Amino acid sequence: MTNVLVPLAKGFEEIEAVSIIDVLRRAEINVFVASLDGNKNVTGANGITLQCDMEINDVSVDDLDMIVLPGGWGGTYALAEDENIQSILKQMDANGKNIGAICAAPYALNKAGVLKPNFTCYPSVEEKIDLDGYQGDKAKVVQEKNIMTSRGPATAICFALEIVKKLRGKEKYEKIKSGLLADFC
C-alpha cells in the first residue's frame, strides 16, 4: 500500500489538512498523521483540533512514499524549525521521493533546501521564500520533479486529487474526482 505522511503542528490550516487526509484515504492511500510535539491532539489555526496517529519521532522515511505539508503560518513555522521534519524532507528529496506542500508550507521546503524553482504558494509567502520561479495563480498545483505545491485552502481538494493521480493513477483520480463533484479541478 502507498504510505503518505501528513505532519501537523499547532496552527496548521484545517481545510488543507482535512482535505488532503480525506481525499487520499478515499483513494485507499495509507495516511499517517503525525504530531511534532508528542501531543495526540493538535489544534489548527481556526481552533479545530485533530487527533494524530503517531508522533514524528516514530516515522521511518523508508516506509514513506510521500510527505505532504499543510499550510497555516503557525504550523508552517513549526515545520520549518523542526529538526525531524527538516531531516525527513532532506532524506525524501535525496531519495527522489515525492514531497508536497500547500499554502505557506513551501516555506518549510525552502528552509530544507528541497523546493524547486517552479512552485506556487499562498500569495505573499513567495516574498519570504525569495526564490525565482514563483508561478502565482498560473496553476492551482505546480509540480517540478518530485515536488508538488499548491496555493491555499480553496485549492486543497485539487492538490489532493493531483497527489492521488501521481500515486494511484489517472483512473483512481477520475473516480475520486467524480465522486467529489470536483469539476473545478
**Concatenated DSSP letters of 56-123:** GGG--GGG-SEEEE---HHHHHHHHH-HHHHHHHHHHHHTT-EEEEETTTHHHHHHHT---SSB--ST
Measured CA to CA, the distance from residue 27 to residue 5 in angstroms comes to 15
User: Which residues are identified as catalytic?
Assistant: 103
> Which strand (E) or helix (H) includes residue 34?
strand 30-35
Measured CA to CA, the distance from residue 45 to residue 148 in angstroms comes to 23
> Which strand (E) or helix (H) includes residue 160?
helix 156-168
Grid coordinates of 48: 479545530
Grid coordinates of 62: 523508508
Grid coordinates of 126: 513567495
